[in-house]
A and B are shown apart, each in its own frame.
Chain A
Amino acid sequence: MGETAQCFAHLMGVRKQFGAVVALDGVDLKIGAGQRIGLVGHNGAGKSTLMNILAGAYAPNQGRLFIAGKEQPDYSVGQAQKLGVRCVFQELSLCPNLTVAENARVTHPALRGLGWLRKAKALIADKLDEIFPGHGISVSAQVKDLAIGRRQMVEIARAFTETDTPARLVILDEPTSSLDGHTAAQLLAFMRKAASGGTSFVLISHMLGEILENSDTIAVMRDGCIVAQDGAGAFNRDRLVQAMGAEESHAPASSDVTAARAQASVRVRARPRRQADSRDAVAHEGEIVGLAGLAGQGQTDLLRAIFLASSRRSPDITLSGSVALVAGDRQADGVFPLWSIADNITIRSLGRLARYGLISSSREQALSDHWRDKIQIRTPNMRNNILSLSGGNQQKALFARALASDAAIILMDDPMRGVDIATKLEVYDIIRQQAQAGRTFLWYTTETDELSVCDHVYVLRDGAIVDDMTRDALSEAAVIQSSFKEAD
C-alpha cells in the first residue's frame, strides 16, 4: 500500500442520510498529502455534507473514514481538529461580537492562561500578513464592524493558524465568493505554496476557472455521488459543466434589443455620497445596470442609499417607482429563518394578498406556488421551513420575494455568491425576461461573467463612480483597468 502512505484522508463508501433524503450515496475519495482537490457540483449535490463529514460535524451512516493513516470510528469535531483538519465554511463561522483575535482563540483551545490575548493577536496578525499582505485589518476590531470580504479573509487566515497541531487538510468552501480579484489571487497563491509544503486542500467553488487552475485533481459530484474524478488537466470548462449535469453552459446571449437609452424613461438617478464630480448612476426602464469594481468599493452603500431613498427623500437620489432589494448576506439581511418558504416569498407582497384587511391564504399559496414553478425552487412543500432549502434555493426564494412584489426597481447586492451555475443561468434568464417586461435592475456583482448580462455597467472605486460603459464597450480588461486606475 505504497499509495496510502502518501494519503492523508481516505473515505470509503461513505453514505449519509437525513431522514428520507440521501445526501451522500457511497462516496470514495482519497486526499493525498499536499494534494489540492477541486470539488464541484450543484447546490444539493452533497458537497457540503461531504465536507461536514470530513470536519467531523456529521457522522456517516455507512462507510469508513481513514485520516492520517488510521481508521476513525469515533470521528468528531474535536478529533478532526487534533488531526489537523480545518474548515472554512461558506456561511461565515466567526462570532460577530468578538474581535478578530478573540475569534482566533475560539478555534485554539491551547490559547489560554496568561498572555493568551497577546499570543492570539500575534497568531492571527502573522497569518493575515502572510496570506493577504497589505490587508489593513486590525486584530482588535470587532468582526461585526468589518465588511464581508474582510470577514472572509479573517476566517481563511484563522483556518491556517497553528498552535499545537499543524493544519494538514484545509477545506475551503467557496473561499473566494466574497473576495475581490486581488485578494482571491493572494489566497490561491498561498494555497499553492502551502500545498507544496505538504498541506492538503479541498477546494469547493462554483467558479470553474478557479477550480481548473488551482487543483491537482478535480472531483465532480452529482446526486450524492462522485461522478467523475481526474487530473485537472483532463478537464475543461465544458467537460466540468457536462459532468455536473447542468444545462449546456452558454454565454449569455447578447440581446439585440439593446434598450434605447435615450428614449426610455429614467427610473433611477443616484449619486454616490463620495462622488466629487457630477457623475451619477442612471438606470432606465427595462434596463439591467451593473455595478462593478473590486469588492467593497461602495457598491453596497450605493444600493442601500437607493433603497432608503424610496422611503426617505434624499438630495442625491431620484426614483420613480417602488424598490425591492435582494440581499447579499442572506443569513443576516435576507431570510426569516423561522418562517416557511412561502412566507419568506410573500412578505414583500402582503398588501396585495389581503382581502378585507386580512391575508388570504389561498392567494398567498397561489403566489408562492407560481414562483416556485417559475424559478424552480426545489422543495416538496412551500410550507417547509426556509432553512430546509440548500443555500442556492434559499437565494432563489429571496429572488422570488423581490420579483413577486410590485417593485419596478430591483436592487441586487451581489446575490449570486455561492450559487451553482445552473441556478445562475436560470436566474439570468428570469432577470432578462423581467427587464424586457419593463423592470429595472441595479446589480452589484463581483463576478465578471455576470456583467455581460447587464446593459450598462458602472465601475466604482473608493465609493465613487470612476467609469461607465455600455455593453458593447464592456470587457473584463476594461473593468479591471478602471477598478485599479490611480486617482487623478
Chain B
Amino acid sequence: MSAPGKAKFQFSPVARALLPAVSLLVVLAGIAWLNPRAISYFGFNLMLNLAIPIVLATLAQMFVIAGNDLDLSIGPFIGFAACVSATWLHDAPLIGSAILICAVGVYAAMGALIYLRNLPSVVVTLGMGFVWQGLAILVLPQPGGQSPGWLASVMGFHPPFVPFPVLVAVVIAVMVWFLLERTSYGVILRGSGGNPVAIRRAGWSLLKIKMTLFAVAGLFGVLSGLSLVGLTTSADANIGNGYTLLGIAGVILGGGEFTGGRVSPIGAVVGALTLALAASPLLTFMHIPPDWQIGANGAILIIVLTARVLVSRRQEAI
C-alpha cells in the first residue's frame, strides 16, 4: 500500500474515536474557565442533573440509526413512558409494568412493519409519535402524577466521590459497548446497517434483526422515561418531546453516521453528555439570558458538528 493509505489506516480511526471526547473536553474547559467552582462533585451533580435521560434517549436512537433508520417518535414515547410511570406504575405497579412491556412490544412491531412493508422509518415513526403523544395525554391530561418511591430513591442516590450521573453514564456506556461491539449477535446487528444484503445472504433474518433493534430502542426509551420521572418526581405529556432531536444530535456528535451502521455506543454517551453540558450550564455561565439559550444551543450544535465534518474531511484529504 502507498504511504498515504498507511497514514489513513493508522491515524484516522483513532482520531475519529477521539473526536467526541475532544468536544466534551472543549465544553468542560469552557465551563471551567467561566466558573471553576462548577468542576466539582456538587457541580457535576447539578450540571448533569438531566443527563441520564438524555443518555438513554441517545442510545435508544443509536440502535435505530444502527439499522439505517431514524426514530422520530422516541421523544413522545419517552413522554408516554414517563406518564405511565407517574400514574399506573405508582398506583398499580403490575399494570404499569405490563403497559411498559407492551410498549416495548409495540416498538418491535413497528420495526417489523417498517421492514416487511419496506416503509420509510421516518414516516412510520412520525405517525407513531403522534400516537404516543395522544396516549400520554390520555394517561395524564394535566402535568402531575407521582414518581414511584423506589424510582425516586434510585435516581436520588449519591455515591461517594463520583457524581451519580457520571457513574451511570460510564456503566451504561460500557454495557452497551459490550453488547453491540463485543457480542457475536451485536456484530450481526451492526452489519445489517453496513450491508443488509450480505447479512441476508449469510442466512440471517433481517426481520428479526430489525425487530431486535427497535425493541432495544423501545427498552431504552422506557428506561429514559423512568429516569426522567425519578428525577422530576412527576410527569407531563410533553416532557420528552425535545429528546427526539437531542438523541439524534447526540448520536451524530458521538461519531455516528445516519447510514452504514456506523455508530459508537461510547461516542453516543459522550455526545449526550456534551449536549447536556452545552445545553444549559455552559450558557448560564456565559450569562446568556434564558430567552436566547435555545438559539445559542442550536448554534453550539452547528459549530461542533461543522468542526467534526472539517476534521474528518481533512483526514480524507490525507
Contact = CB atoms under 8 A, between A and B. Distances in A.
Contacts of A78: 203
A106 B200 CA distance: 10
A113 B12 CA distance: 31
Interface string A448-488: 00000000000000110000000000000000000000000
29 contacts: A55-B201, A77-B201, A77-B202, A94-B195, A95-B194, A95-B198, A97-B190, A98-B194, A98-B261, A102-B190, A105-B188, A106-B187, A106-B188, A106-B191, A107-B202, A111-B184, A112-B185, A113-B184, A117-B182, A136-B1, A138-B9, A141-B9, A145-B9, A147-B5, A274-B3, A297-B2, A301-B2, A462-B2, A463-B3
B184 A274 contact: no
B237 to A, nearest CB: 37
A96 B198 CA distance: 10
B262 interface: yes
Interface in A264-314: 273-274, 296-298, 301
A87 B187 CA distance: 21
- Of the candidates A77, A97, A136, the one having the most CB atoms from chain B within 10 angstroms of its own CB is A97
A48 interface: no
Given A77-B202, A94-B198, A142-B13, A105 B1 contact: no
The 9 lowest CB-CB distance pairs between A and B, nearest first, are A95-B194, A97-B194, A463-B2, A93-B198, A95-B191, A112-B184, A78-B203, A95-B195, A97-B261
Interface centre among B1, B3, B190 (most CB of A within 10 A): B1
A96 B1 contact: no
A89 interface: yes
Interface secondary structure of A, over-half rule: loop
B295 interface: no
Contacts of B188: 105-106
B2 A298 contact: yes
A57 B4 contact: no
A141 B12 CA distance: 11
A463 B4 contact: yes
A105 B190 CA distance: 12
Interface string A69-88: 00000001110010000010
B8 interface: yes
B1 A109 contact: no
B1 A106 contact: no
A106 B262 contact: no
A142 B262 CA distance: 11
A100 B94 CA distance: 46
Contacts of A463: 2-4
A56 B194 CA distance: 22
Interface of A: 55, 57, 76-78, 81, 87, 89, 93-98, 102-103, 105-107, 109, 111-113, 116-117, 136, 138, 141-142, 144-145, 147, 273-274, 296-298, 301, 462-463
Given A95-B190, A141-B9, A463-B3, A106 B202 contact: yes
Contacts of B193: 97
Contacts of B5: 147
A105 B203 contact: no
B203 A96 contact: no
Contacts of A136: 1
A145 B6 CA distance: 10
A102 B261 CA distance: 13
A296 B261 CA distance: 26
B233 to A, nearest CB: 41
Interface residues of B, number: 30
Contact of B1 (A87, A107, A147): A147
B260 interface: yes
Nearest to A99: B187
Contacts of A87: 201
A81 B184 CA distance: 18
B166 interface: no
B201 A89 contact: yes
In the complex, which of the residues B13, B193, B203, B204 has the most CB atoms of chain A within 10 Å of its own CB atom?
B203
B261 A95 contact: yes
B113 interface: no
B201 A145 contact: no
B199 to A, nearest CB: 6
Highest count of chain B CB atoms <10 Å: which of A103, A274, A462: A103
B119 interface: no
Contact of A273 (B4, B185, B261): B4
Contacts of A462: 2
B26 interface: no
B197 A96 contact: no
B2 A274 contact: yes
Contacts of B262: 97
B13 A145 contact: yes
Nearest to B198: A93
Contact of A105 (B4, B184, B194): B184
A38 B200 CA distance: 27
B8 to A, nearest CB: 7
Nearest to A140: B13
A64 B146 CA distance: 67
Contact of A145 (B8, B190, B204): B8
Contacts of A76: 203
B201 A57 contact: yes
Contact of B203 (A77, A147, A301): A77
A98 B261 CA distance: 9
A296 B3 CA distance: 12
Nearest to B257: A97
A138 B5 CA distance: 14
B199 A106 contact: yes
A93 B201 contact: yes
Contacts of B190: 95, 97-98, 102
A147 B9 CA distance: 11
A141 B5 CA distance: 13
B182 A106 contact: no
Interface in B1-24: 1-5, 8-9, 12-13
Given A97-B260, A102-B187, A109-B203, A301 B195 contact: no
